[in-house]
Structure 1
Amino acid sequence: MAARAQALRAQGADVITLAAGEPQAPTAAGVVEAAVAAVRDPANHHYGPAQGHPGLRSLVARRVAEDTGLVWTPEDVQIALGAKHALFLAVQALIEAGDEVLVAEPGWPGHAEVVAAAGGVAVAVPTDAHFRLRTDDLDRRRTARTRAVILSSPGNPTGAVHDASRLSPIADWALRHGIWVVGDDLYRAFDHTGTYRSILRAVPALRPRTVVVGGVSKEHAMTGWRVGWLAAPPEVVAAARAHVSRTITHVPTVNQIAALAALEDTGTPRRAARDHRRRRDLVVAALNGIDGIACPLPDGGMFAFPDVTGLLRERGWADSAEFAAWLLDTAHVAVVPGEAFGAPGRVRICFAVDDGTLVTAIERIDAALAAATACGAREPKEALNR
C-alpha cells in the first residue's frame, strides 16, 4: 500500500494517507529547541551511559510511579530506541529460544515481530467482541512453554482499553501460572473514556513479573526521534542494559534530551488527546453514515477500526486488502487492510490528522462508493459538523 501510494504521488496524484501509525503534527517547538541546544553542547558529543540519561530515567520513573501507584527509581528504567526496541529488550530478557509469548488478535503485528526477533514463538489469542483479552482465552492458549503475555491498552488498531475489572483477572491468572506481563502503554495518554489503568494499579502484587513499556512517539509526535523505555525488575533491566551495551552502545544523547524536554511538557499530550477524541467522534459518525460500514467507537488511541464486510459483500471485493487497494486507486485515500492485524473484513484509519484532511478523506471515500454503487450516501461533512 505504501509503495502504491508513493507511485501515485510520483504521478502527481493528491493522495491522503490515513494509513500512518503516527500523528500528522510536528514535534513541539520547545522539544526541537532543546535538541538544538543539546547539539551545540560539546558534552553531548560523546558516549553516554548504556542504561540511558539519568535525568530522563528519573522522569520516566516518576511517570511510571504515578501510573502504577508504586515506587520506582531511575535504576528500574532502561532507555531504548523507541517502544518497539523496548518491547524487544523486554521479551529477549524473559524468554529462551522456542518459548511462547501470548499476543492479542486483532493486534499490532509488531508484538509478534519482536517475539520472533527474540527467538520466541508468538501465539495469537482471540479477543472478545470489544477487542479485549479474556482469561479463558489466555488459558486455552497457554502451554508449558508460555512465558509472557503482551498487554496493550489502549490497543492498536482497536483502541480497546482494559479497565480495572478486566485487568484484575488477567493479573491473577498471570500470578497463578507464573507468567510475565509486558504492558505496552504507548497510547496511555489517549484514553478517551477515562478507564485506562495500569495493571499494577489493579494488582500491585504482579510487580515482580511485570515490564512497563512506553515512549514519546505518539503523545509527543516524536516517532522519528526513536526514544522509548522499559521499567522492570532488576534482572530484566540488567539484561536489557547488557544488550544495549553490546549492540547500539546507547540511545543518542541528543534524542534523549529531546525526550526529557517532552516529558516536562504536559500540555502537548493533553491537547493531542482532546483533538484525537474530537476527531474520533467525527470520523466514526461519518463512517457509520456510509452504507456497508459499521464502525465501533474506540475507547482510546488514534485509530478507527471499521467493519467493511457489508461493502465487500455488496461490491464483490475478495477481502479488505482488495477494497483498500481500490480505495487508494479510486479515491486516492490510503488505509491499512485489517489482514495486517489479523482482522479480515476491517480497515484501520488513522484520525491523528488535521480536520480538513479528515473531512476531505471521508468525502472522497463517500463519493467513490456512491459513484461505484450509483446510489446516494449521507453527506460526510454534515456528519463531521454535528
Structure 2
Amino acid sequence: MTDNPIFAVAARAEALRARGADVITLAAGEPQAATSAVVVEAAVAAVRDPVAHHYGPAQGDPALRALVAASLTDDTEAAWSADDVQIALGAKHALFLALQALVGAGDEVLVAAPGWPGHTEVVTAAGGIAVPVTADSEFRLSAEALDRCRTPRTRALILSSPGNPTGAVHPEPRLRQIADWAQRHGVWVISDDIYRAFDHTGTYRPILRVAPSLRDRTVVVGGVSKEHAMTGWRVGWLAAPPEIIAAARLHVSRTITHVPTVNQRAALAALDDHGTPAEAAQDYRRRRTMLVEALNRIDGIDCPLPDGGMFAFPDVSALLNDHGWSSGADLAAWLLDTAHVAVVPGEAFDAPGRIRLCFAVDDDTLITAIDRLRTALSPVPEADNQQLEEAR
C-alpha cells in the first residue's frame, strides 16, 4: 500500500503555509465550511451526558442506525431497519469493513479508472486485488468494460455515483445494465454513496432503486463527512445483508470497540438537519459553473461540467504541451509554488493530463483562486474579472 497522494499535496501546501505563504487549497476532498452549530451543540450536550462516557454497542447507536435506515428506505424505496446498518469510523472504514467481509486472498475487486485512489487502497488493505476498469468518455462504467476485466476471481465492484474525481452520475439505463451484469455473474456491488447529496443534474438514482433484486448482493456505504461538512468527525456506515453486518460488527467489536458515542450523537443531529445539505448543494452548483466557465477561458484547458460531487476535473494536456510540462504533477507543483494554489494532479486518479480542483469553498476563496490561476497561466481580460465579480 502507498500513502494517499491527495494527502501529500495537502501536506506540501501546509508546509508552504507554515513558511508564511498565502496558499489556497483546492486539493482537499472536503467542504471548507464549518460543521453546523446544531451539530456542534448536540456534541457538546453529549459530552455533558454521563451515558456518553461509557461503552456503547459495537454496531452503533440504535437511534442513529434507525435514522440511516429510514433515509435508505426513502432513497431506495425498499424497507431497511436499524439491524441492517453498521456504524463505522467514516465511509473509508465502512468500505474496509465491507471488503474484509467479502474478500479473501487473491479475490479481485473492480474499481473505476479514473477513480478515487482510496478505493484501490482499501481493497489492498482488506487483502484483495484492485482491478481498474476504464470508464467511457463521460467517466461512466459500462457492463462491457466490466466484463472485459472480469475473471473467475472477481468478487465485487465498487460503484461510486456521483464519482470522485469525475463527478460522473450513472443514469438509470446504465445502472440497470451494470446491475444485470452483476447478477448474471454473481458479483457483489459496493455502492459508495458519499456524494449522493451533490447531484447537480437531477439524474442521481441509487442502484437499489433501479434494481431492487440486487439487494442481497449489495452493500451501501455512506456518511456525514461531505454532506454535512463533518470530515473530521469520522462517522460513516454500511447497510448490507445480515451476514455482512454480522462480520462488520464482529470486526468493530474486536478492534475499535465502537465509534465514539459523542461523534454518533453529532451525526444523529446532522441527519435530522435537512436544511444545511440542501443549501450547500445549491451553493456548490453555482460555484461549479463559476469554476468550470473560468477554466474553459484559459487556453489549453478543457473542463467538462461535472454531473455531481464537488470537483472540476479538467483536461490540461494541451496546456502541458504548450508550456513543456511533462505531467499533471509538474503543473500542480508549479501552480503551488507560483500561484500558491493547491490542486491534485490527475496521476493520483489514474488520469494523467488532468488535474482536480475542489469548488466546495466560499465565493471569495474560489474567486481569488481563479484569479491566481488565470494570472499564472494566461493574460487576464478585464471583462472576465467583471464576470467573476458579478458571479459573487
When the two structures are superposed, what TM-score results if normalisation uses the length of structure 2?
Answer: 0.96
CA positional deviation for 1:11 = 2.1
Q: 1:381: which partner in 2?
A: 385
SS at match of 1:238: helix
Aligned counterparts, 1:314-329, within 5 A: 314-329=322-337
1:122 aligns with 2:126: no
Aligned counterparts, 1:53-202, within 5 A: 53-202=61-210
Q: Hey, what's the Cα distance between the residues in 2 that align with 1:229 and 1:2?
A: 26
Compared CA separation, residues 380 and 351, structure 1 to 2 (3 A):
farther
Among candidates 351, 354, 357, match of residue 359 of structure 2: 351
CA positional deviation for 1:369 = 1.4
Runs of 4+ aligned structure 1 residues displaced above 6 Å come to none
Q: Hey, what's the Cα distance between the residues in 2 that align with 1:74 and 1:68?
A: 15
Q: Count the aligned residue pairs.
A: 382
Q: Hey, what's the Cα distance between the residues in 2 that align with 1:42 and 1:193?
A: 45
Compared CA separation, residues 376 and 56, structure 1 to 2 (3 A):
closer
CA positional deviation for 1:382 = 3.7
Among candidates 203, 215, 218, match of residue 207 of structure 1: 215
Q: 1:255: which partner in 2?
A: 263
Contact 1:289 1:383 in 2 (8 A): no
- 72-81 vs 89-98, greater mean Cα deviation: 89-98
1:222 aligns with 2:226: no
Q: Hey, what's the Cα distance between the residues in 1 that align with 2:10 and 2:59?
A: 35
CA positional deviation for 1:5 = 1.6
Q: Hey, what's the Cα distance between the residues in 2 that align with 1:369 and 1:379?
A: 17
Q: Hey, what's the Cα distance between the residues in 1 that align with 2:31 and 2:63?
A: 26
What is the root-mean-square deviation of aligned Cα atoms in Å?
1.0
CA positional deviation for 1:379 = 5.3
Q: 1:303: which partner in 2?
A: 311
Compared CA separation, residues 80 and 379, structure 1 to 2 (3 A):
farther
CA positional deviation for 1:4 = 2.7
Q: 2:12: which partner in 1?
A: 4
CA positional deviation for 1:254 = 0.5
CA positional deviation for 1:383 = 4.3
SS at match of 1:183: strand
CA positional deviation for 1:3 = 3.3
CA positional deviation for 1:6 = 2.1
CA positional deviation for 1:98 = 1.2
**Amino acid aligned to 1:284:** V
1:32 aligns with 2:40: yes
Q: Hey, what's the Cα distance between the residues in 1 that align with 2:125 and 2:387?
A: 44
Contact 1:287 1:294 in 2 (8 A): yes
Q: Hey, what's the Cα distance between the residues in 2 that align with 1:349 and 1:35?
A: 31
**Amino acid aligned to 1:381:** N
CA positional deviation for 1:378 = 7.2
Q: Hey, what's the Cα distance between the residues in 2 that align with 1:281 and 1:252?
A: 38
Q: Hey, what's the Cα distance between the residues in 2 that align with 1:276 and 1:48?
A: 36
Q: 1:16: which partner in 2?
A: 24
Q: Hey, what's the Cα distance between the residues in 2 that align with 1:290 and 1:64?
A: 42
SS at match of 2:170: coil
Q: Hey, what's the Cα distance between the residues in 1 that align with 2:277 and 2:41?
A: 18
Q: 1:264: which partner in 2?
A: 272
Compared CA separation, residues 383 and 98, structure 1 to 2 (3 A):
farther
Contact 1:302 1:351 in 2 (8 A): yes
Q: Hey, what's the Cα distance between the residues in 2 that align with 1:285 and 1:377?
A: 14
When the two structures are superposed, what TM-score results if normalisation uses the length of structure 1?
Answer: 0.97
Among candidates 360, 369, 373, match of residue 377 of structure 2: 369
**Amino acid aligned to 1:69:** E
**Amino acid aligned to 1:142:** R
Q: Hey, what's the Cα distance between the residues in 2 that align with 1:195 and 1:360?
A: 31
Q: Hey, what's the Cα distance between the residues in 1 that align with 2:178 and 2:387?
A: 38
CA positional deviation for 1:377 = 5.3
Q: Encode CA deviations 1:139-161: one digit per residue, 9 max, x unaligned.
A: 00000000000000000000000
Q: 2:4: which partner in 1?
A: none
Q: Hey, what's the Cα distance between the residues in 1 that align with 2:120 and 2:250?
A: 23
Q: Hey, what's the Cα distance between the residues in 1 that align with 2:70 and 2:380?
A: 54
